[in-house]
Amino acid sequence: MKALQQLLIALTLLAGSPAWAVQPDEVLADQTLEAQARALSKELRCLVCQNQSIDDSAAPLARDLRLLVRERLTAGDSDPQVLAYLVARYGEFVLLRPRFNWRTALLWLGPPGALLGGALALFLLGRRRARPALAGREGEALTAAEEARLARLIQAGDR
């Protein structure tokens, strides 16, 4: 029974571990180049999954891109050269963090702008609610009818 429990625990722990998309036949023998390829793969978008890096994706196109990155590194290209080659071939969309330019300005400036706009709206709303309801009547005294009504309400509340 104890062995069965241990087996179930081991299977549960293994099921929760991430599945690596990089296959053993893709790994380069040179560990330095492999580390460089893995770092680049984490910066490139899977064109099929669109929300994963090619390092995390098991899609066939992601595998092709991983192999292409390793091929370019083996040929002697630097990181910027590999990225430039892939951008020239697939466009800026292949980068998970696109470069800042006039086409991507909204992408980069939109979230902080929305955050600042929301903070400004909350500030103005809070300021509006902090004002007294009778802002125009601050210095005015109550009329005789209002004083009589107030006295009746206070007496009714005391009972």
CATH topology of domain 30-99: Helicase, Ruva Protein; domain 3 (1.10.8)
Least confident of 93-97, 113-117, 118-122: 93-97
Nearest 5 degrees, angle CA 117-CA 118-CA 124? 90
pLDDT grade for 114, boundaries at 50, 70 and 90: very high
Q: What is the domain partition of the chain in residue ranges?
A: 30-99
- Whole-number Å distance between alpha carbons of 50 and 46: 5
